Amino acid sequence: MSLQIADVVVVGGGIGGTVAALLLARTGARVTLLERRAADAEPGAGLLLHPNGLSVLAGLGLGTAVDAAGHVLTTSAVRDRRGRVLLDLPVPAFGRGLDHLVAVRRSALHRILGDALAAESAVTRVFGAEVVDASADGSVEWRTNGGTAWRTADLVIGADGVHSTVRAAGEFGPVVRATGERYLRVLVPRQAHGTLEGEFWTPLGLLGGAPVDAGTQYLYAAATAAPVAQALDAGDVGALAQVWADVMQVAGRLLGSVDRIEDVLVNDVVRVECGSWQDGRTVLLGDAAHAMAPTLGQGANSALVDAAVLTIELAAGRPVPEALERYQQRRRPAVLQVQRRADRAARLSSIRSGAVRGARDLALRSLNHRPDVAARAVRDLQQEDPARLAEAVAAVTLTRVRS
Structural domains present in the chain? 7-71+104-177+271-348+383-397 (3.50.50.60)
Q: Is 189 helix (H, G, I), strand (E, B) or coil?
A: strand
* pLDDT tens, residue order, the chain (403 aa): 568 799 999 999 999 999 999 999 999 999 999 999 998 888 889 999 999 999 999 999 999 999 999 999 998 899 999 999 999 988 999 999 999 999 999 999 999 999 999 999 999 999 999 999 999 999 999 999 989 999 999 999 999 999 999 999 999 999 999 999 999 999 998 866 567 899 999 999 999 999 999 889 999 999 999 999 999 999 999 999 999 999 999 999 999 999 999 999 999 999 999 999 999 999 999 999 999 999 999 999 999 999 999 999 999 989 999 999 999 999 999 999 999 999 999 999 999 999 999 999 999 999 888 888 888 889 999 999 999 999 999 999 864 333 3
Global confidence as pTM: 0.95
User: What is the model's pLDDT at position 325?
Assistant: 97
How do 174-189 and 7-11 pair as beta strands? Answer: unpaired
User: What is the model's pLDDT at position 401?
Assistant: 35
User: What is the model's pLDDT at position 193?
Assistant: 59
The sign of the torsion formed by the CA atoms of 22, 24, 26, 30 equals negative
Q: How far apart are CA 331 and CA 322, in angstroms?
A: 14
The sign of the torsion formed by the CA atoms of 309, 312, 315, 319 equals negative
φ, ψ of residue 249 to 5 degrees: the values are -60, -40
User: What is the model's pLDDT at position 399?
Assistant: 42
Q: How far apart are CA 49 and CA 382, in angstroms?
A: 11
* Contact present, 140 and 131 (Cβ < 8 Å): yes
* Contact present, 78 and 87 (Cβ < 8 Å): yes
DSSP 263: G
Q: How far apart are CA 106 and CA 267, in angstroms?
A: 15
User: What is the model's pLDDT at position 3?
Assistant: 80
Residue 28's closest CA among 10, 6, 11, 9? 6
User: What is the model's pLDDT at position 42?
Assistant: 82
Adjacency order of strands within the sheet including 139-144: 130-134, 139-144, 147-152
User: What is the model's pLDDT at position 191?
Assistant: 65
